[in-house]
């Protein structure tokens, strides 16, 4: 009987795997595998176990977030003979899994990981380190590491969004010179990434038809200094009070509440006061998201109106020149 090592991280995402763990193990065993299980014990454990025990197994199936998958792959890349790898996504954003067209449901994904036909996937390397789908620099790249696991488990993608917003004041550009196909790009960039996915941080960056996991190519995205909420205040003094409220009260107060939630959860203490406070914070997060959307929409209202006006004028000019058979934005 072929042997399978099941590495899993029950802390990933919102703890989705915990309640389905037995069913997932049954699905792996039902496919005819002799299954050995190993719950990860902390950062780097999946890498160490995969590297040390790969020779004992025909396939390694891992379950957790993108970080868990990355650790397993990193542990295997230094080996000459590597077992096949299966993946059951159970993280907060599951970026890489969005490229795989997996079925819904933990058991269904386990059946694919156990019985699916293996396919090659390109792996990148950078300064002697491996990455499976993205290597990035600049804005927001520390968010995935700095956001507490308890917040990710409870609030999901919102925890990343809030941590990203909190990092805005500290963003600084990197001066980059890039040479490719006999050409050179040199500029200041706030963000850059080499990737093999169309989703990073839960945000779709590339059209799906441009991403091929085994074509030997990675895509490159570079972002110059963008228009952001800090630029608005400089050119539109009337919006400064609104901007100050957002930056000086709404944002720091929300972050304060999220950090308090994290501390209370980490303390492991139960009581009416703590449970009640955590429950209120949990319940208000949907309202916070809606309020932030409205606040940002209001801040950018003039820009949206200006663009809309430009489109209308251009459509009218095209029509007058006999070139307006189709309105912009229609297909």
pTM of the model: 0.61
62 pLDDT higher than 80: yes
- Max mean pLDDT among 27-36, 269-278, 310-319 falls in 27-36
67-100: b (≥16 Cβ within 10 Å) or e? bbbbbbbbbbbeeeeebebbbbbbbbbbbbbbbe
Domain extent listing, the chain: 3-124, 231-299
Higher pLDDT, 41 or 281: 41
Note the pLDDT of residue 135: 81
At 40, is the pLDDT very low, low, confident or very high (cuts 50, 70, 90)?
Answer: very high
CA distance 200 to 164: 13
CA distance 94 to 88: 10
Higher pLDDT, 300 or 251: 251
CA-based nearest residue to 157, from 204, 229, 94, 67 = 94
CA distance 178 to 185: 5
Identify the CATH class of 3-124: alpha beta
């Amino acid at each position: 009987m072929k042997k399978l090592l099941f590495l899993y991280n029950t802390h990933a995402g919102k703890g989705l795997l915990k309640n389905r763990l037995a069913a997932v193990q049954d699905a792996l065993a039902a496919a005819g595998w002799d299954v050995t299980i190993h719950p990860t014990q902390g950062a780097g454990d999946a890498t160490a176990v995969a590297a040390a025990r790969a020779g004992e197994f025909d396939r390694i199936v891992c379950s957790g977030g993108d970080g868990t998958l990355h650790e397993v792959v990193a542990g295997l890349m230094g080996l000459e003979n590597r077992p096949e790898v299966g993946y059951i996504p159970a993280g907060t954003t599951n970026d890489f899994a969005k490229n795989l067209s997996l079925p819904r449901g933990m058991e269904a994904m386990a059946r694919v990981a156990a019985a699916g036909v293996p396919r090659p996937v390109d792996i990148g390397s950078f300064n002697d380190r491996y990455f499976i789908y993205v290597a990035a620099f600049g804005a927001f790249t520390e968010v995935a590491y700095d956001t507490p696991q308890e917040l990710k488990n409870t609030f999901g993608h919102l925890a990343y969004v809030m941590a990203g917003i909190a990092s805005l004041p500290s963003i600084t550009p990197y001066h980059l010179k890039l040479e490719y196909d006999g050409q050179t790009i040199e500029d200041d960039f706030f963000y850059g990434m080499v990737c093999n996915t169309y989703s990073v941080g839960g945000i779709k960056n590339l059209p799906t038809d441009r991403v091929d996991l085994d074509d030997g190519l990675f895509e490159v995205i570079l972002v110059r200094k963008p228009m952001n909420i800090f630029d608005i205040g400089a050119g539109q003094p009337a919006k400064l009070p609104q901007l100050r409220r957002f930056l000086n009260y709404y944002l720091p107060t929300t972050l304060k509440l999220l950090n308090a939630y994290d501390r209370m959860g980490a303390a492991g203490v139960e009581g009416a006061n703590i449970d009640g406070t955590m429950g209120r914070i949990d319940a208000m997060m949907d309202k916070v998201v809606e309020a932030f959307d409205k606040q940002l929409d209001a801040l950018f209202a003039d820009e949206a109106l200006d663009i809309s006006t430009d489109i209308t004028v251009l459509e009218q000019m095209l029509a007058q020149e006999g070139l307006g058979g189709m309105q912009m934005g229609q297909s």
